[in-house]
Amino acid sequence: MKKIIQEHIEKALTKLGATDVSFVVEHPADLAHGDFATNVALSAAKKLGKKPREVADLIVAELTVSLPVGVSEKVIAIEIAGPGFINFRCSVSVFVTDLTRIISENKMYGSVVERKGQKVMVEFTDPNPFKIFHIGHLMSNTIGEAIARIMESSGAEVVRACYQGDVGLHVARTMWGILQNKDKFPKESVSLVDRIKFLGDMYVIGANIETPEALAEIAVLNKKIFEKSDSEINEYYTKGRTWSLEYFETIYKKLGTKFVHYFFESEVADEGVRIVREFLKKDIFEESDGAIVFKGEEFGLHTRVFINSQGLPTYEAKEIGLNKRKFEVEPTLTESIIITANEQSDYFKVLLKVFSLVYPEIAAKTKHFSHGMLRFASGKMSSRKGNIIAAETLITDVENLVLEKIKDRGFDAEVTQQIAYDVAAAAIKYSILRQSVGGDIIYDVATSVSFEGDSGPYLQYSCVRARSVVGKAQEIGIKPVIDLQVREVSPLEKMMVRYPEILERARTEYAPHYIVTYLTELASAFNAYYAENKIIDATDTTSAHKVAVTQAFAQIMENGLLVIGIRVPAKM
């Protein structure tokens, strides 16, 4: 419909003698302004030397004769409003056919096949073994998973990747702590959570020691870990690494992420060094003060060290090795997305510049998105003092609040636990995804746990409630049937059929928050609809239609939540 209107406006413009006019045909935010609106008259006015209203009159006159019969029947009114907007009102049939599609296409409603055959890698979360999985990782995971699923909804195959720092100073510092506390090193019989807590404590000990002797010892440990030259250290290292990775999997399970590829710093370092040395000869890099650096200044960037003066690769060199590796394990990749915290933004600009000089084909397919920090109204986190907030702590706290809320509802234990998982994850994910990716998130625990309005649980609740109504209707024999002869279409119905467009926009802009905003508005529309209408009413001939609308709503809500990584519980 939109395209048809657009085409005919273009024809009309040509007839009027205006070319190269940029205009849009869109859904006005205010439903009172009709179903479609265009600013074409405003844009073309100057070119035609007429007032916008006059131009609008001319275009409308042109459209009334040019629209083909099938279309003109569906456009029941064309009005000129405001400074010169042209508004189109559509007949109910336009919406009714879309409503039937929601129900028939079911889980697939909103998905497209546009990117079928393409393969996209999304790298995100990136926690480090031997260190705490903190709320920053939670943020990366939430955003990365949402973007991955949004890509999947376009028909692309998505491979999720996780890059982990299993060597380096942070590991050496943890190891230093372990060696001071060998007697406390946990046995395998100790619970995984406690073993992880031990490693975290050891990191805090190692990270806070700054005496010259200790620092020298840590440097030695760093080398030994890297070279795997000490059997005692190897044993602690292997155990600690395995436990960390095992622990991360328990969190991914809760959050709903499955990685296909795990990359480790220890595996990409050598290749990174090799590449840097190769391109040092080709003058991409240069030596400076004993280190190998990339001079970014000539590109408006800054200089970064790739290999330090001791000949060891920095993060930069490893990153080159990593991105090369990505295309080796997945040679048919059409796009490679990297999600990190925004403190790495400038640094990634340098890296992408280097890629464009070293491996242009990789650079062309690589995109970097950065997110802000999860901050709390009270206090800031500091990584070294050990008062970093573990993802698990936050999740558990929110789970407990959910449990408190539902304890008197009479659900059995298993169901209760599942609700706690799903709702807590939704509450946290929603607060991350509701705003555009990039800025810091001020996480207010009180707001997040209130679950009122504008929250993940609000959306889940609306969906569960809608499903419950549909279920109850079925019980008394009212089947959901879209009434093709329906006289009036509610704001809820008009809003529902816009879902595919919202998803489309989220896809092209890699912006999950458009979906969140839309779903929140949709839930609000449904709740208003629910309050105004008695949906189940055996004496009402429109009841079957209302049930169908309710079912369509539940379907879109479920689809929309799933595409941003939020599950809907069966009850709540």
Partner RNA sequence: GCCCUUGUAGUUCAAUGGAUAGAACAGCGGACUUCUAAGCCGUUAAUGUUGGUUCGAUUCCAACCAAGGGCACCA
Q: Which amino acid is at 504?
A: E
Stretch that binds RNA, among 64-72, 103-111, 492-500, 512-520 (CB under 7 A): 512-520
258 binds RNA, rule: CB under 7 A: no
CB of 61 to RNA, least distance (A): 18
What x-and-dash track marks residues 12-31 binding RNA by CB under 7 A?
------------x-x-xxx-
CB of 66 to RNA, least distance (A): 21
CB of 74 to RNA, least distance (A): 18
Stretch that binds RNA, among 89-97, 179-187, 272-280, 442-450 (CB under 7 A): 442-450
| 545, 547, 553, 557 alpha-carbon torsion, rounded to 10° | -160
Q: How many helices (H) and strands (E) does the chain have?
A: 22, 14
Q: How far apart are CA 6 and CA 485, in angstroms?
A: 28
Considering only residues 51 to 70 of the shown chain, the ones binding RNA according to CB under 7 A are 52
Considering only residues 105 to 144 of the shown chain, the ones binding RNA according to CB under 7 A are 128
288 binds RNA, rule: CB under 7 A: yes
346 binds RNA, rule: CB under 7 A: yes
176 binds RNA, rule: CB under 7 A: no
Considering only residues 373 to 402 of the shown chain, the ones binding RNA according to CB under 7 A are 373, 402
Considering only residues 78 to 97 of the shown chain, the ones binding RNA according to CB under 7 A are 81-83, 85, 87
CB of 157 to RNA, least distance (A): 28
572 binds RNA, rule: CB under 7 A: yes
Contact 86, 78 (CB under 8 A): yes
Stretch that binds RNA, among 136-144, 162-170, 234-242, 328-336 (CB under 7 A): 162-170
- Among 7, 228, 440, 484, interactor with RNA by CB under 7 A: 440
- Among 165, 272, 500, 512, interactor with RNA by CB under 7 A: 165
- Among 290, 364, 479, 484, interactor with RNA by CB under 7 A: 290
Tokens of 104: 């028939």
Considering only residues 213 to 232 of the shown chain, the ones binding RNA according to CB under 7 A are none
517 binds RNA, rule: CB under 7 A: yes
Q: How far apart are CA 150 and CA 507, in angstroms?
A: 6
Number of residues in contact with RNA, rule: CB under 7 A?
98
Q: What angle do CA 506, 507, 513 make, to 5 degrees?
A: 25
Q: How far apart are CA 72 and CA 435, in angstroms?
A: 40
- Among 464, 489, 506, 548, interactor with RNA by CB under 7 A: 464
Tokens of 211: 């005496």
Q: How far apart are CA 78 and CA 200, in angstroms?
A: 66
Contact 395, 426 (CB under 8 A): no
If DSSP states are collapsed to H, E and C, what string results for 534-565? CCCCCCCCCHHHHHHHHHHHHHHHHHHHHHCC
Q: How far apart are CA 217 and CA 212, in angstroms?
A: 9
Which H or E run contains 441? strand 441-443
Tell me the angle at which helices 231-255 and 413-433 cross, rounded to the nearest 10 degrees: 90
530 binds RNA, rule: CB under 7 A: yes
Residue corresponding to tokens 């040092």:
280
535 binds RNA, rule: CB under 7 A: yes
